[in-house]
Chain A
Amino acid sequence: MGDVILTMKGIDKSFPGVHALDHVDLEVRKGEVHALMGENGAGKSTLMKVLTGIYHKDAGTITYEGKEVEFTNPREAQDAGIVIVHQELNMMGHLTVAQNIFIGREYMNGKLIDDKKMNEEAKKLFDQLGINIDPKETMSRLTVGKQQMCEIAKAISHEAKVIIFDEPSAALTEAEIEELFKIIRDLRDKQMGIVYISHRMDEIKVITDRVTVMRDGGYVGTLITKDSTKDDIINMMVGRVIYEDPKTESQVAPDAPVVLKVEHLNAGRMVKDVSFELHKGEILGFSGLMGAGRTETARALFGADPKDSGDIYVNGQKVDIKTPQDAVKCGIGYLSEDRKRFGIVVDKTVAENSTMASMENFMKGIFIDKKKEKDTAQEYVEALKTKTPSVDQLVVNLSGGNQQKVVIAKWLVRNCDILIFDEPTRGIDVGAKSEIYHLMNELVAEGKSIIMISSEMTEILRMSDRIVVMCEGRKTGELGIEEATQERIMHAATLRN
């Protein structure tokens, strides 16, 4: 670790009604990877937005390279050498890789853009990073992982001295994460200061040098990573101890009836001859690497994507599910991995979202029974302990974990007995995670059945009664929780043809 390059001291920021940052400190040195951790709503993003000039601080100082600075927009911060690699990729899919990297500061040849030069420069950047991407390729044709590499290349091309990674690994495969880490280590060796925001505790241990923890908009403390344990960090984040012990035996009664049976399901290239059963009161984990076809299986089952062949039985009855409406009629609810796009309507209230899938039960003639809607929503807000000032709050204002709870409420209101959770805790912080887990356990105890798709091994081992493993569209393993280990699951998940 080298000298201090960036110091944020006593940063304070309020929005109407919210004290978002309460005298927060952060210090980044040259040649370190500095983790910024905290639950959602802890203020990490706000702090970074203050740093890069999207928000203006109310109090505090930012010292960068020995001088006090205050950026008024991201462009200024960029020009000074502070750049963010965003969690949600900020890519123009229709432009080429090189065009994306140099957007806003194109190489010009008189009045015309010099694309040739831009391709050459992009190529140089990629060579420097040791990655193989064609600068002339259209961005939308790249995988998410490659797109992320482009974002990093773009950041570096700004001659960045401080790079902020905002949950960079969320959508990457294991191999891509390895590649990402290699690049980050390279950047560290080049004496850049790196801020790394992530929820994945394992990654923090592997890649970072120091950890700064925030909670409820306040600064909690900074630790040297290698001198602290996972539990130390988690305790600082939530102020309470969380156990991540694997489940040791199935909680399902041996004679529990089969509520859902899928036989020889085929759909497109990603679902090939998948069969499985789901019992009443069971949590069936779906494990596998990115691109194993788990989400595709769920979507085909739910009628969101067309099936090529295969039979589905609900409670022993053969059903014909062609559309999501059919699935809902059969009592199947699907909680998408991408909440913002498929799960909730962000600019509607909690109450409206809760009842959206079962409108017909909330009608008074042709009008919506607003009172009944609110009462029901309130009931579920209490039952699920959703943190919202009222059911009239717009969902957009809730944190990720609470948004997820609203989605769960939506399907519970609809009386769905079979719930498909697709990455239920993605982008949700540790505290909210354990609440969601608790909730899922309560649901199965009440006799609901759950299919849980998850990329997190600890989540699979902690929650599932039984585990289906997929690889490249095929089911490659099925393990009872008693026999499941990380190694066995990983073995099945890599069973390629």
Chain B
Amino acid sequence: MKKKVLAAILAATMVVGLTACGGSKDATTTTTPDAATEETTDDAAAPAADASGMSFEIVSKGLQHQYWQAVKKGVEQKAAELGVTVNFVGPDSESNISQQVQQLESALNANPTAVGLAALDTESVKDLLQKAKDSNIPVVGFDSGVPGAPEGSVLANCSTDNYAAGALAAEKVYEAVKDQVANATAPVRVGVVAQDATSESVINRGLGFIDKFAELAKADGKTANVVGNDKYIADSKAEKTDGADVVIDVRVPASVTSELSAADATALMNEKDTIAIYGSNEHSANAIITANENLNKCGVGEGKIVAAGFDSGAAQIQAVKDGVLLGSITQAPVAMGETLVQLLYDAATGNTAAVKDTDTGCQWYTAENCGDAEIAQNLYE
């Protein structure tokens, strides 16, 4: 009796939860049971030239951040246009590698026409990639793709060149602090708030920024050094000099939570010699914004800290508009989603020539240009 009551309460709570999110899901999975059974019975005989029988499994790195929701939007738009069925999944958190492996496994077991994958950890999906290859299921990487995947297991990647995107941020930030760097009598500090030191895309955005900033400083006759997180220090190609004019300080929290990253940002902005700070994804940019609410130091000018972000989201867009952030880099997640589905379609239809690595691009947006249609479509709240 008690158990029944309990079950009822839980079920009711679940229903409330599900209804609340129901709206966004309708567009995704529209596969009818018939289509699914046909798929499993006769797919091996002849690859379906008819798009209506095609089903793509897409395993992303998460669904949490609005970024992934924008990718999903692009995927759904293109899928609707091509008339294919798409199932878009991702783990609960971007550190849940085992869950992603399971999702990829079930994706392959569903025997799809093709698979899109943004791997959290290449090593742990290697076996499954081999399995996909053995069962002739084409795999296309997206976002950070599947770096270091075995030869031939991933046909192509469509992604932002994260390293180049980070470098773009460095150029813009350097431009704003160029004089300060040039006129400084004591070393100056540039902070980098990174979400982690494990994800390839996050690392590349950080390294792109670090390397470019060091390079620009060097071009102006200054020396640079990288301190903080060991992984970034080791991987950075920048020339490192002790007692350098420009110190690039990289902080990574022990786990991905807002309060820990905010503490990192606060610590960096509290350093007396900090002139600029960069957050390499939405999470880290939000951390800078949170820290600034107490410190009120972000901005351009004497005694201020030039701040830059990456990706968008309501808080970040507002901060760019308010001038808290000088600007931010946006990828083109909608375009990425569309390109992904196109590549999967090409791969499935045997249009091999079209299946090749694609940069889906990035843009620097500021208070001035964020209203432009070209940029606005890639910004999401």
In the complex, A touching B, CB below 8 Å?
A: no
* B interface residues, Cβ below 8 angstroms from A: none
Q: Which residues of A contact B (CB under 8 A)?
A: none
